[in-house]
Amino acid sequence: THFGYQNVPVADKQKRVADVFHSVAQKYDIMNDIMSGGIHRLWKRYTIDMSGARAGHTILDLAGGTGDLTAMFSKRVGKTGKVFLADINESMLKVGRDRMIDRGLVNNIEYAQVNAESLPFANNTFDCVTIAFGLRNVTDKQKALESMFRVIKPGGRLLVLEFSKPVFPWLSKIYDQYSFSLLPKFGEWVTGDADSYQYLAESIRMHPDQETLKDMFNTAGFEDCEYHNLTGGIVALHRGFKY
Ligand code: SAM
C-alpha cells in the first residue's frame, strides 16, 4: 500500500513516522485503551516489575510518548532518583509533559527531544533504559540498540516492550484481520486518520520476531538476554544486561 515503507528512503520513513505521531498525539491515550482493550496497562506494569527500578535510580524512558512508563517510574525512583521522558516527536513530548504536570509528577522528571539512534547522553548514565512500542518506529534499530547500550551503566539493563509474533497460528490469523481491517477503522472513527493506523499495522508486521530481536540484543553487546511473550506473543518483553 502507499504506507508500506520497506523500499522508501530513510528520510521518508522518518518523516512518515513524525507525521503519524503529530497526527495522533492528542488522541493517543484513548486509542491505546480502545485498541488493546486496556491490556497495554498490564504489559506496562509487567515492564516496570522487570525493570528492577528502585529509589535513587536514573531511568531513561525512550520513545516515552505520553509518559505511561515515566509516571510509574517516577513513583518508584522517588526524590533521589530521576526519570528522563525522551521522544523524537515534539507533539508527543508536549502531551506527555502536560500529563505529568497534571498528575503532580514534577520533582524527578526531565524531558528530552532525542533520536534513539544517537542518544545525546554520556556513557554509563542509566540504571535502566526502556523503550515501549517505540523500537519498531526507529529506522536503524541495531544502531539504536547500540546507542542504548552505550548510555546504560555496567550492571544496568534494557527493556524493550514491543509487538511481536503471535505464537499460535490461529491467533496470528485473528490478529492479522484485527490489525488490517478493524484497527484502521477504529483509528478513523476516533482520530479521523485511518492512514496512521494502517501504518501502525504494517510497522507491526515488519518488526523483527522474538528470536531475531534477541540476536540483535546480543550483537549490540547485551548479555543474559531473554524475552517473555505476553498475550500469546502479540507483545514480547525483551531484557538484556550490560556488564
Ligand atoms: N512509550 C509510549 C507508550 O508505550 O505508550 C509511546 C509509544 S508510541 C507508539 C511510539 C513513540 O516512539 C512515539 O511517541 C514516537 O514519536 C517515538 N519515536 C519514533 N521514532 C523515534 C526515534 N527514532 N527516537 C525516539 N523516539 C521515537
Q: Map out the domains of the chain as residue ranges.
A: 10-241
CATH code, 10-241: 3.40.50.150
pLDDT, tens only, 196-214 = 888 888 888 889 999 999 9
Nearest CA to ligand 1 atom 7: 133
**Residue 160 CB less than 6 A away from ligand 1:** no
Q: What is the DSSP letter of 195?
A: H
37/144: higher pLDDT: 144
Return the HEC string of 16-54: HHHHHHHHHHHHHHHHHHHHHCCCHHHHHHHHHHCCCCC
Number of the ligand 1 atom closest to the C-alpha atom of 21: 16
Q: Measuring CA to CA, how many Å separate 56 from each of 36, 67, 68, 107, 131?
A: 32, 19, 20, 13, 20
- Of the listed ranges 8-12, 60-64, 124-128, 145-149, the one predicted with least confidence: 8-12
- Of the listed ranges 28-37, 113-122, 215-224, the one predicted with least confidence: 28-37
- 3-state SS assignment for residue 87: strand
**Residue 132 CB less than 6 A away from ligand 1:** yes
Q: Model-level pTM?
A: 0.94
CA distance 179 to 176: 5
The confidence score (pLDDT) of residue 2 equals: 37
